[in-house]
Amino acid sequence: MLLRLRNAIFFMCLSVGFSGAATADGPLQILTMGDSMMASHSLSKRAIPNVIGKAVNARVVDRSVSGARIIYNLPITGSMGLNIAKQFRPGRWDWIVVNGGGNDLWLGCGCRSCDRKMNRMITKTGARGEIPNMVRKLRSTGAQVIYVGYLRSPGTGSPIEQCRDEGNELESRISKLAASDKGVHFVSLANLVPNGDRSYHALDMIHPSLKGSRAIGQRIGQVIKK
């Protein structure tokens, strides 16, 4: 009986140690939420959530939806996922990975006169707005939260080149939000794309390529492993 118990403990420890991410109750449970950056390549199972799952040996449930926004008031389509906050589903999540805000700025105000939209999403201090409200609700589940920034234009004809300043300001505010809670982590992608390198973007020069999704997922996985 004692030998069986010792063997059981040994194999349990071996299993946890091998995965690098498993808990005593099994693999990590991760929920991903967001827009098309997160959802790109989901049909081929090579999207950012798929990469995260492989990187940390976790069970990942992806709720991201292309075109989703932080501020979205239509009730039916919002409940179907076009409102990022409403993508949440209850569960025993260890980590929740989320992105969003790009569609609100690029599509919602065309990168012009975006101050009002920006402040509705998150104020300069990072303390108020729709993004802090969402993150606090996610944190109230006990999960660690990772907020992911956006790919930057490599400076070679991207449609989002003109939105660089607004994107930097949005992410500066999100980083302040993360600094106020040790359970919130901001993952910046600002330095991911070398200048002039188009290989991290899809042909539209907005969404990540397979290489881009892989690099983003691996960077997020590094945060989870710490």
Q: How does DSSP assign 123-182, residue by residue?
A: -TTSSSSHHHHHHHHHHTTT-EEEEE--PPP-SSS-TTGGGHHHHHHHHHHHHHHHHT-T
Residue 26 is encoded by which pair of tokens?
């099994």
Encode pLDDT of 11-40 as tens digits. 333 333 333 345 557 899 999 999 999 999
Residue 209 is encoded by which pair of tokens?
């390529």
The pLDDT of residue 69 is: 97
DSSP helix/strand/coil, 206: coil
Q: Which residue has the tokens 């660690």?
A: 144
| Separation of alpha carbons 147 and 35, rounded Å | 12
Q: Is the pLDDT of residue 184 over 60?
A: yes
Which residues are bridge partners to 83 per DSSP?
Answer: 69
> With contact defined as beta carbons under 8 Å apart, do 31 and 85 qualify?
no
User: Per this entry, what is the length of the chain?
Assistant: 226
Torsion angles phi and psi, residue 133, rounded to 5? -60, -45
The pLDDT of residue 1 is: 39
State the average pLDDT over residues 157-172.
83
The pLDDT of residue 14 is: 30
> Taking the CB of residue 129, how many other CB atoms lie within 10 A of it?
21
Encode pLDDT of 59-105 as tens digits. 999 999 999 999 999 999 999 999 999 999 999 999 999 999 999 98
b/e map of 157-191 (b: 16 or more CB within 10 Å)?
ebebeebeebbebbbebbebbbeeeeebbbbbbee
Q: Which residue has the tokens 């993952």?
A: 187
Q: Is the pLDDT of residue 164 over 90?
A: no
CA distances (Å), origin 126, targets 22, 47, 65, 118, 166: 33, 29, 25, 11, 15
> With contact defined as beta carbons under 8 Å apart, do 40 and 9 qualify?
no
Q: Is the pLDDT of residue 189 over 80?
A: yes
36, with CB counted inside 10 A (0-12, 13-18, 19+), is: buried
Task: Give residue 2's pLDDT band: very low, low, confident or very high (50, 70, 90).
Answer: very low
Residue whose C-alpha is closest to residue 30's, from 94, 99, 98: 94
